[in-house]
Structure 1
């Protein structure tokens, strides 16, 4: 489960062998969200708009690499 990005108290993580559509987890001490890699859609949870914006930008810029990691 690599941590892909750390910013402003948030961690963006990818869990190997996870279920469902390819996704990343946006986690902080106060909230959590699951974001689909292919669409950027928030599947579940919630986080502040600024954190979601940063996570979406990272996912969009690294989509192919994230999907490759997911499929390993």
Structure 2
């Protein structure tokens, strides 16, 4: 069963998108991901079968990006 995880981020530039993409594409368990640059919260949506919100936050924080759960 796929879960959709939704986050508020500071991924709002080509450099930050590239930084996030390099990490997200290497993770097993991500089926699909997208960033909504039109939204003021730069919303990151991830479809996953196995990863948790904490996994994603930890990964992106290590990459120097801000990421918090969006309820």
Q: Could you tell me the TM-score, scaled by structure 1's length?
A: 0.30
Q: Could you tell me the TM-score, scaled by structure 2's length?
A: 0.30
Indicate the structure whose relative CO is greater, using CA pairs within 8 Å and at least 6 residues apart.
2
